[in-house]
Each structure stands twice: as C-alpha cells, then as structure tokens.
C-alpha cells in the first residue's frame, strides 16, 4: 500500500512540474506559428533541451547557430551578452524579468502561480517588424508591467 502511494505521488510530481520541456515546446510552437517576420521565422534557443524538443516541430525552422536565427529564444541574458552573432535580433524570453531587462525582447512566455503566461509588447514587436496573427491579439500589452 505504501509503495503504491509513493509511486502515485512520484507520478503526480513528474506530471506537475512547471518546467516540462515538452509542454514549453508545444506552447512556443503555437506562439511562433502565429508570428510573421519578413525574412521568415528561424529560431535559436539557448536551452539545448528545449532546442531539441522544438526541432521535432513540423511547422518551425530551428537552427543550432544564433547567427542564422531571425528570432532568439533565451532563458538567461548571459547566453547572448558576449555573442556578436546574437546582436540586433528580436528576442523572445522565457522569464518575465528578462522582458524588463532586455529592450530587444518583444515577448515572453513564463509560468506564474502554476499557470502559463504569454506577454507580447506590441510597440517592441512593431518596431522589429514582427506581425502577429489574430490568435495572439489577447496577449498584447502596451508596456512591461
């Protein structure tokens, strides 16, 4: 009996984790399939596990090189600070604090109180010639809050 309860708790814990890479990848795939850039959307991510999961997408073009990407997805500022190949590219962040601290970032996906949140700063997206489909209209914000 104790073993089955322990197993049940373990399974629930595994499925309840907020940072499940496959769930992040599915949500990001939905977001980026509704974003349009003149040169096309090619993604690079600083999280290698997430990058590998995104490569499974049949809708997205994923690259292993920041220089080739048209949009960069980052979890930490340090991963792009000293890389000249990552300069002057639109950035989508996976942490709300980075949206505040990186002016090149136009949107964020993050977990808050156990729920996924998507924020797209409309003025930053327009400045970087990023067009959003109607599906992303409800996630637009005027400014970082």
Give the pLDDT confidence of 51-73 residue by residue, as tens digits.
Answer: 999 999 888 999 999 999 999 99
Whether residue 13 lies inside any domain: the answer is no
Residue 25 in any domain: the answer is: yes
CATH code for position 47: 3.40.50.2300
Question: Which is more confident, 16 or 128?
Answer: 128
Q: Which pTM does this prediction carry? A: 0.83
Distance in angstroms (rounded) separating the CA atoms of residues 44 and 96: 19
Residue 8 lies in a domain: no
How many structural domains comprise the chain?
A: 1
1 inside domain: no
Q: Report in angstroms the alpha-carbon separations of 121 from 53, 84, 88.
A: 26, 25, 17
Residue 87 sits in which domain range? 19-141
């Amino acid at each position: 009996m104790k073993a089955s309860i322990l197993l049940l708790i373990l399974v629930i814990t595994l499925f309840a984790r907020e940072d499940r890479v496959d769930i992040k990848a599915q949500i990001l795939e939905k977001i980026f399939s509704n974003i349009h850039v003149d040169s096309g959307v090619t993604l690079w991510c600083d999280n290698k596990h997430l990058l590998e999961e995104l490569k499974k997408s049949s809708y997205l073009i994923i690259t292993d090189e920041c220089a080739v990407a048209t949009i960069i997805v980052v979890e930490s500022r340090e991963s792009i600070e000293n890389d000249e190949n990552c300069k002057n590219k639109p950035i989508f962040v996976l942490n709300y604090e980075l949206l505040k601290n990186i002016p090149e970032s136009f949107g964020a996906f993050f977990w808050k109180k156990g729920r996924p949140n998507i924020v797209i700063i409309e003025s930053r997206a327009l400045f970087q010639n990023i067009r959003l489909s109607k599906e992303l209209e409800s996630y637009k914000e005027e400014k970082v809050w």
